[in-house]
Amino acid sequence: MLRSDDSSATVIGQRDEEPEPSLQPLLDLELAKEEWAKLVDRAGNLFSTWEWTTTWWRHFGRSRPLLVTAARAADGSLLAILPIYLSATRPLRIARFIGHGVGDQLGPICESLHRQAAAHALRSVLAQHSRRCDVFVGDGLPGDEGWGPMLGGTVLRRTSCPVLRIDGASWDEFLAARSSNFREQVRSRERRLARAHKLRYRLADDPNRLQSDLDSLFTLHEARWGERRSYSLHGARAEFHRDFAARALERGWLRLWFLELDGRAAAAWYGFRFAGAEWYYQMGRDPAWERQSVGFVLLAHSIREAVNDGMREYKLLLGDEPYKSRFADEDPGLEAVVVPRGVRGRAALAGARAARRLPQPIGDRLLSLAG
């Protein structure tokens, strides 16, 4: 059972003759584990799991104030968890979702039928903490769920998050739905590699080898991307992923693929398998094999494995890279929703809106101050 501060638990009015959820501050994330896990299983978001959230908090929380809150129905059943915290106090007091920066899809943890209740609970929590918070920045909210209007906020930006719906299709059916040129590329590029080299796909599944496999992933990732911030697996982020990957392997979620040529890794694919979906997080490859399209071949292999194993969908996650659109069939997108509180919050939102019309370096700086 979750631990609560009884003096702080409140019931917020009534609306449409339905009782509003009671709000219960969660003072200890460890004690929330069991109910949290059951709720996430129904909600289906990897980046909302207790494991991802607590790993992020250990690495990036820095003892900042937690505002994590459970929303409960009248019978005590758990409707939603709001995984939020105070991320900054200067120049603005900002509340955000735990997991931002490394988690692509964030938001209240709830089933779809309880989104309205979760949104109302989040507004109530922000109202309770109005003296501590100037603005709430909700990164990574699914773009097809309408969180902006539900939260009474403003969608500050929208980013791409493509998805391939598998829904029982076979690999041959997937290819048949693509162009003949695409089908030929998928088949011929793999055949050429196999003819010229000893081609092997290896899934990392040995706990004793995991850290060296992650070393290989990080090396290949750096070889491809360097230290570009948007793709970073460096420094504190690398340590976070070492920690989470070990926990994911224990839970059976980790999918770390290597494409090996003549016994050496030429490309790596890092992602997860959770809630009937494959979650493609990052990739790295050796530039020496660029012309052989090893990244494309490994990506196609990971999709083929997801299809053959009966996954419902394949999430290509954050980013509008052109290659993703070749595999995906829809893009619900992700949104950053800003909810201002008071004069300072409204001024920050106005500044962030103006930043979108400024030259990119200046605009990016102002946007970062507001989330």
Nearest to 351 by CA among 125, 163, 92, 121: 92
d(CA 339, CA 30): 29
Nearest to 39 by CA among 3, 2, 80, 71: 80
Q: What is the mean pLDDT of the chain?
A: 88
- Give the domain ranges of the chain: 10-160+333-369, 163-327
Q: Check residue 20 and give its pLDDT.
A: 83
d(CA 367, CA 212): 38
Report the SS3 class of residue 50: helix
Q: Check residue 144 and give its pLDDT.
A: 95
pLDDT digits (tens, 9 = 90+) for 35-49: 999 999 999 999 999
Which has more pLDDT, 342 or 277?
A: 277
Nearest to 282 by CA among 248, 315, 249, 328: 315
Superfamily of domain 10-160+333-369: Gcn5-related N-acetyltransferase (GNAT) (3.40.630.30)
Inform me whether the pLDDT recorded for 31 exceeds 80.
Answer: yes
Are the C-beta atoms of 280 and 269 separated by less than 8 Å? yes
Give the whole-number percent of the chain exceeding pLDDT 90.
76
pLDDT digits (tens, 9 = 90+) for 117-157: 999 999 999 999 888 888 899 999 999 999 999 999 999 88
Inform me whether the pLDDT recorded for 13 exceeds 90.
Answer: no
Are the C-beta atoms of 130 and 316 separated by less than 8 Å? no
pLDDT digits (tens, 9 = 90+) for 172-223: 999 999 999 999 999 999 999 999 999 999 999 999 999 999 999 999 999 8
| Six token digits for residue 122 | 């989040």
CA distances from 96 to 61, 167, 246, 306, 314 (A): 11, 34, 26, 33, 27
Count of beta carbons in the 10 Å neighbourhood of residue 268: 29
Superfamily of domain 163-327: Gcn5-related N-acetyltransferase (GNAT) (3.40.630.30)
CA distances from 365 to 15, 85, 368 (A): 40, 22, 5
27 phi, psi to nearest 5 deg: -85, -15
Inform me whether the pLDDT recorded for 2 exceeds 80.
Answer: no
- For residues 265-280, give the mean pLDDT: 98
Strands (E), 286-325: 313-315
The region that residue 68 occupies, defined by phi over 0 for left and psi between -120 and 50 for alpha, beta otherwise, is beta
Contacts of 166-170 with C-beta under 8 Å, sequence gap 24+, read 166/306, 166/307, 166/311, 166/312, 166/313, 166/314, 167/312, 167/313, 168/310, 169/307, 170/307
Q: Check residue 231 and give its pLDDT.
A: 55
